[in-house]
């Protein structure tokens, strides 16, 4: 094997190993706890009065629309799904 090929291969190996070191393992349970916490935060935000909600700066139009939609939903299952959607778009 020539020197250039070996050097290039070594550089690629080092880059791959550095990339592997940056990966942080997150357990499924931890991800579920995080999603439930975000969902609880969403429920708290949706439960705020109109005046209290107006004091929160909502620059993300998608988030603002999702919150206003959740406030209009009366059906229990639909509201549950909307809360899950709020946690997915990262309140």
Widest CA span in the chain:
72
- Compute the distance between CA of residue 40 and CA of residue 33 in angstroms, rounded to an integer: 11
Q: How far is CA 39 from CA 2, 85, 86, 88, in A?
A: 57, 9, 7, 9
Q: What is the pTM of this model?
A: 0.65
* Whether residue 52 has pLDDT greater than 90: yes
- Compute the distance between CA of residue 67 and CA of residue 63 in angstroms, rounded to an integer: 6
77-87 confidence digits (pLDDT tens) = 999 999 999 88
């Amino acid at each position: 094997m020539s020197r250039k090929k070996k050097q290039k291969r070594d550089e690629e190996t080092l880059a791959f190993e550095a990339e592997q070191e940056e990966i942080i393992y997150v357990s499924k349970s931890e991800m579920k706890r995080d999603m439930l916490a975000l969902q609880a935060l969403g429920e708290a935000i949706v439960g705020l009065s109109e005046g209290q909600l107006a004091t929160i700066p909502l620059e993300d139009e998608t988030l603002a629309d999702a919150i206003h939609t959740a406030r209009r939903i009366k059906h229990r299952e639909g509201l549950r799904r909307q809360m899950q959607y709020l946690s997915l778009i990262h309140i």
